[in-house]
Amino acid sequence: MLGVIVFAHGSRDPLWRLPVESVAQQIALSDGKAAVSCAYLELCEPDIATAARELVHRGATHVRVLPLFFGMGKHAREDLPVLMAELAAAHPRVTFEKLPAAGEDPRLTALLAQIALENTP
């Protein structure tokens, strides 16, 4: 079974989480069979280890991690690979796949450009 972790930095502001949770909801609506969870690097819960454990408990055998970072900064480039290795070690029967940072997808950058130009006189 497919599991997806929508992974973001985190914030103490509970409203900050709403767009992250919205992405997770859209994934769940798009594929009702996929198990979906949000996870955060710091400042709020759950962390990625807790989210992965929950998805594995629900039956996920392949977990895709979608980093909601706009670019490949330190967190995406250095911290996330370490966390991914820890997940693989903790759950050796599960395949963990790290997707590119969201901002590196040309479809997202094209959409943002389109949004910026909407309703332009």
Q: Which two tokens stand for residue 9?
A: 């930095």
Query: Crossing angle, helix 80-90 and helix 48-57, to 10 degrees?
Result: 30
| % of the chain residues with pLDDT over 90 | 86
The per-residue pLDDT for 26 is 97
Please report, for the chain, how many H helices and E strands are present, in that order: 5, 4
The per-residue pLDDT for 56 is 98
DSSP 18-62: HHHHHHHHHHHHH-TTSEEEEEESSSSS--HHHHHHHHHHTT-SE
Among 8-12, 54-58, 67-71, 104-108, the range of highest mean pLDDT? 54-58
Catalytic residues: 9
Confidence check: pLDDT of 72 > 80: no
For 22-44, the pLDDT digits (tens) are: 999 999 999 999 999 999 999 99
Task: Return the exposure string of 77-114: e unless at least 16 CB atoms fall within 10 Å of the residue's CB, then b.
Answer: eebbeebbeebeeebeebebebeebbbeeeeeeeeeee
Mean pLDDT of the chain: 93
